[in-house]
A and B are shown apart, each in its own frame.
Chain A
Amino acid sequence: MILQNQIWLLTLTGIGLVSLVFIWIIVQAGKPADSAQVQKTAHTIRRWWFLALVLLGVGVAYATLKPFPIADQNASSPAGQIVDVVGRQWSWTLSQNQIKAGVPVQFNVTSLDVNHGFAIYGPNDLIVTQTQAMPGFTNRLHYTFTQPGKYRVMCLEYCGVAHHGMVTEFEVVGGQP
């Protein structure tokens, strides 16, 4: 399943669980019970609930940070292809418009004027990866395309009146169709 759908499912599950707990508590709220007893039970539950959240957090943090999802910005690149990307109000310049699938590519992304967002949209119109384009800095974005086709670059950092029109395209060729 694509990552966007996993995130969506996880979010809906989380919000759903929160909702169920609230509905249950609200349904129960009208029936009075001994406060001391309720508070004692609540403290016990809270201890386990806290522990569960901590364990979940540690597990998820470890799983999502190792390997680290952002390329080392100082190491010399092992990438087979290098694409220089320059953003300006309101257009993108890419040093090449054809990228080979299956070969790691490094985008060196910067801006000539204000902050822009360099987001790559796949053939299915979903974001595959992104980084910021900032004046005075170059962000190195590593990605390996697997699927050939037309990719669209859109600006994801508000940059003025034609922000929504700051679009360009490139093609990924080769690999498995």
Chain B
Amino acid sequence: MNASQSAGALHPANEALTRNERIVFNLYTISALLVFVLMMLLGLTMRMAQSNWAGVLPNVFYQIMTAHGAGMVGTIGLATSAVMWFFLRKYVKLSLSIFLANYVLFMLGAVALLAAVFIGGYAGAWTFLYPLPQHPMGLWSGNAAALFMLGYLLIGVGFLLFYLDVMRAIIRMYSNLGRALGLQWLFSGDIDKSHPKTVVASTMVAITNSIGILAGAIVLVMCLINIYFPSVALNALLVKNLTYLFGHMFINASIYMGVIAVYELLPRYSGRPYPISRPFLWSWAASLVMVLIVYPHHLMMDYVMPHWMLVMGQIISYCAGLPVFTVTVFGALANIYRSGMRWNMPSRLLVLSMFGWAAGIVPAIIDGTISVNKLMHNTQWVPGHFHFYLLLGVLPMVLALMFHVIGQNAPSRSSDKLSFPLYILGGLIFVFSFLAAGHISTPRRYAVHLPQWLLYDQFGSIGAILLIVAMLVFALHIVVGLLRSPGNGDSAHATG
């Protein structure tokens, strides 16, 4: 072991959590883990229902589906914002109160969402695609739909506050957002090698996701007005555009926040420097633009869309893969190649996250082709690819930070030797059963399945069970570790 791999370098002093920071970080982490497990159980319930292994009434199925979607998207956003906060606070001065406010607003929003779904019966899917929430055919009330939207607004306000604080702090330190993104080095000049990748990524996310959340807020307000004043009809196509701009942006922001864990932690475990470079800056600058204009790939089957926008959706989908494949994943692989990598839970999860992102993006990009989308749109191909990079990409980024913080840097314990491969195995069975079902045209979001689809559902259920068992072991370790940890993060010897 060389010096750079010692515990001190793994847990630098400027990353230590103060007492208050630790309380808030633990709130985020433990809540996120709890909700992840609960939402996974809801997901399993849906797959079991489709398998004919569990009797679930269609109205309950669609309530579960709505809760699972909203819960997972929100929680992955919450968990990855904790990743971003954890590293960004080393470079700029963030407000802990605002970070806490985001948590409180999130929890209030979550209560509203759950009440709307499980008490109010709202089952308009997490995308609340206009005018379905207003058109429940008697299954839920206008108030239930409004409560759901109010929950989203609360969560959105929390995130917006957090991002505004991030931008304020970044501007204070780097004088403007362009310099924080490193735009001054795009074409020429000596790049300041100490400029943190975390700052570049955080700036990009704060800008783009604020725009995404604003688009979402506009739709929510429009829909709220429409619920109580139905005569104010909305343009369904315009609302769809704004909804998918928001939805696409929010879920992508979680990847861009989560990947900060890879930038920060990977070089510590590989022991090899992972410096900033011009292609890195280009890739983030390009992603900033692309992530905002790629959303029409969700509207390829809306033939009345301006066709240039659909062409843009396809081309930008392809282009968006370039930064991933040629900069982030390639850079991560070059960082660990013959590095003398030390394998333990954080480092394994980091490598898994790169695999999940890179492999999961393959079916996604292919589906971003209009002629393919004609056959795959809204089949289980879609949950197949996004579960691939969320479950095997983004969640491992979050888990890597959690295992890092609890100081599990020693070679794995025996339970990890079992749970880590189990997570991958279960995850792969789960996502491939979606993709395989999509390949034979199984629709997504169906409470009841035809006989020829059942085998895929059953494999999916088994994969989900394996994955959830592994996730429970992870969650237990992390929660115990967090509650026992002294909080400065430098506990490698305590638990190692």
Q: For residue B227, give the distance in angstroms from its CB to the closest CB of chain A.
A: 14
Q: For residue B124, give the distance in angstroms from its CB to the closest CB of chain A.
A: 8
A42 to chain B: closest residue by CB: B334
Cβ-defined contact, A126 with B301, below 8 A:
no
Among the stretches B19-27, B203-211, B369-377, B470-478, the one at the interface with A is: B369-377
- Range of interface residues on chain A? 35 or more
Cβ-defined contact, A126 with B440, below 8 A:
yes
Residue of B322, B372, B444 contacting most chain A CB atoms (<10 Å): B372
- CB-CB under 8 A from B375, the residues of chain A are 3-4, 7, 126-130
Interchain CA distance A19-B137 in the complex, whole Å? 47
Cβ-defined contact, B273 with A35, below 8 A:
yes
Cβ-defined contact, B333 with A135, below 8 A:
no
Cβ-defined contact, A113 with B135, below 8 A:
yes
Identify A35's interface contact among B272, B310, B325, CB under 8 A. Answer: B272
Query: Does B362 have its Cβ within 8 Å of any Cβ on chain A?
Result: yes
**Given known A126-B440, A126-B441, contact A136–B336 (CB-CB < 8 A):** no
Interchain CA distance A86-B236 in the complex, whole Å? 16
Cβ-defined contact, B330 with A42, below 8 A:
yes
Query: Does B443 have its Cβ within 8 Å of any Cβ on chain A?
Result: yes
- CB-CB under 8 A from B318, the residues of chain A are 57, 60-61
Cβ-defined contact, B362 with A18, below 8 A:
yes
Cβ-defined contact, B333 with A160, below 8 A:
no
Interchain CA distance A5-B438 in the complex, whole Å? 11
Query: Does B254 have its Cβ within 8 Å of any Cβ on chain A?
Result: no
Cβ-defined contact, B303 with A64, below 8 A:
no
Chain B residues near A (Cβ < 8 Å)? 58-59, 62, 123-125, 129, 131-132, 135-137, 139, 235-237, 240, 270, 272-273, 279, 300-304, 307, 310-311, 314-315, 318-319, 321-322, 325-326, 330, 333-334, 336-341, 343, 351, 354-355, 358-359, 362-363, 366, 369-372, 374-379, 435-436, 439-441, 443-450, 452
- Given A25-B337, A163-B447, 5 additional A-B pairs, CB 8 A: A61-B314, A125-B440, A125-B452, A127-B375, A158-B125
- CB-CB under 8 A from A15, the residues of chain B are 359, 362-363
Query: Does A29 have its Cβ within 8 Å of any Cβ on chain B?
Result: yes
Q: For residue B271, give the distance in angstroms from its CB to the closest CB of chain A.
A: 8
Cβ-defined contact, A50 with B132, below 8 A:
no
Cβ-defined contact, A140 with B240, below 8 A:
no
Identify A69's interface contact among B129, B302, B321, B374, CB under 8 A. Answer: B374
Interchain CA distance A46-B272 in the complex, whole Å? 18
Cβ-defined contact, B330 with A32, below 8 A:
no
Interchain CA distance A49-B324 in the complex, whole Å? 12
Query: Does A70 have its Cβ within 8 Å of any Cβ on chain B?
Result: yes
